Structure 1
Amino acid sequence: MPTFQSDGLNLNYESAGEGPVVLCIHGFASSGKVNWVDVGWVDTLTGAGYRAVTLDNRGHGASDKPHDPERYHPQDMARDAVALLDHLGIDQAAVLGYSMGARIAAFMAFEHEPRVACAIFGGMGMNLINGLSDGNDIIAGLRAPSLEELTHPTARQFRIFADHTGSDREALAACMETSRAPMARADVRRINVPVLVAVGEADTMAGAPEALANLLPQGEAFVIPKRDHMRATGDKAFKAAGLAFLGRTFAARSFS
């Protein structure tokens, strides 16, 4: 598996297809493979004529996993994404992020705007600004001796997911401490690239997509029907909305 270096860390990535580049940034406790390959997003993108580049964020997948919470600020993880574009010689890409990956995409679009043609914030609505209220419960769940002790539903969900993916739970706990830092409302208003905000209809973790889209200068909202936070990633309606958005804002504009 190919790797690159960023901030002294070895990070894993994969690339598939040819065409305009879509950089795919996964969510918390996931990986490039779990978040984008296994649910069919990579096949969807390459089938539509895009090059899909998936990244294993620090602390996840096959990438290095520091246990220091100071290594997981979203600004640092956004710089990892830019470093991957530099490594591959890519000047600009569309960025597709889910949950934590959407937060990283937002900081990337704000702080490195010339590198981002457009962005899709999946599984992230107004909690980009409001923060994640369940974060401390998730941290406690990751550090608990066993699943049987956990009663908090969100903590149980993420503990089960982390165990299923064979994750380093201490690295994930460190990541949760700092990666969930909210973005200032004024900074959201200054993200001056087209953004699709796509959140599941039954998602109680992301916050309202319409309210966030209304703050973005070029934002639009899409509600993924009948999906919660954990089941929206590979949804067909989400993929269709994402491809339509990319067709309007990236491929048609830059490559037609």
Structure 2
Amino acid sequence: MTITTHHWTASDGVTLAWRETGAGRPVILVHGLFSDAQLNWVKFGHAEKLAAAGFRVIMPDLRAHGESDKPHDPAAYPPGILGRDLLELVAHLGLSDFDLGGFSLGSRTSVHAVAKGLSPRRLILAGMGLEGLLGWEKRHEFFLEAFEKFESASRGDRHWFAVQFMKSQKVDRVATKLLLESNSTVTEAMLGKIIMPTLVLCGDDDRDNGSAPALAEALPDARYEEVPGTHTTSVTQRALGEAMVRFLTLP
């Protein structure tokens, strides 16, 4: 499988990256917090499965992540910036008929983008529950606390795994903290914009973002599917990519 990396410039001058593989119907996949396209979508074979199924897989690195710029200026992180970046990427690529999927923060970003007018044919919200969208404040506070405990968290601390993941990814703490502080919650009105067929996909032991079944029930045209794992491990499972392919190739 050949992965190509591309760069483009957002309207505020920040340079952002996306990775791409395959040819055919476009599907945009948005990674989770502290991660990047390589880790979420390439490393465990999900992009390869989609490409083999006839998709052009487009995988942006969110600002402050991966190969995208990581500015330290708070002005680079206005509320809703990730959703705006996603809309601008779609316009930059000239896409009019495409599918969209996200994991965790990528799901939140996808919801924000749809609320701003993005219209994918089908939508995948992975690693996300209803409370993770409508009650983002609690998750937001958790991550801000993890930044505070970056040097002091010990095994058994509820922030331990988040801190270890940040360290393994060598995150830019200044940039990602600014990004987190700019994030806003999803409203009921925003959820009301999600009228396209939607797959809510979550690990069977993942409660980090609340109830995924409740999220599926809250949407007018959604189905819920489980894969093995926690919030951390579900994205490593072959079943995740397989479920995405099944949903996106439905007649």
Question: What's the TM-score, normalizing by structure 2?
Answer: 0.89
Higher helix share: 1
2:221 to 218, 223, 239: 218
137-146 or 29-38, which moves further after superposition? 137-146
Q: Which residue of 2 aligns with 1:40?
A: 45
Question: What's the TM-score, normalizing by structure 1?
Answer: 0.88
Unaligned ranges ≥5, structure 2: none
Deviation, 1:92, is: 2.8
**1:216-255 alignment, distance < 5 Å:** 216-225=219-228, 227-248=229-250, 252=251
Deviation, 1:36, is: 0.8
Q: Is the 8 A contact 2:78 2:182 kept in 1?
A: yes
1:174 to 169, 174, 178: 178
**1:45-84 alignment, distance < 5 Å:** 45-68=50-73, 71-72=76-77, 75-84=80-89
Q: Deviations over 1:163-207 (max 9, x none)?
A: 11121012122222232x221123212312111111111112121
Q: Is the 8 A contact 1:142 1:172 kept in 2?
A: no
Q: In structure 2, what residue type is equivalent to 1:84?
A: L
Aligned alpha-carbon RMSD (Å): 2.0
Q: Is the 8 A contact 1:143 1:173 kept in 2?
A: no
1:18 matches 2:20: no
Q: Relative to 1, partners in 2 of residues 1:148 and 1:8: Cα closer, same or farther, differing over 3 Å?
A: same
Q: Relative to 1, partners in 2 of residues 1:69 and 1:92: Cα closer, same or farther, differing over 3 Å?
A: farther
Find the residue that maps to 1:138 and give its secondary structure.
helix
Q: Is the 8 A contact 1:142 1:170 kept in 2?
A: no
Q: Taking every aligned residue pair, what percent have the same amino acid on both sides?
A: 28
Find the residue that maps to 2:121 and give its secondary structure.
strand
The aligned length equals 245
Q: Relative to 1, partners in 2 of residues 1:240 and 1:149: Cα closer, same or farther, differing over 3 Å?
A: closer
Q: Which residue of 2 aligns with 1:164?
A: 168
Q: Relative to 1, partners in 2 of residues 1:142 and 1:246: Cα closer, same or farther, differing over 3 Å?
A: same
Deviation, 1:23, is: 0.5
Deviation, 1:15, is: 1.1
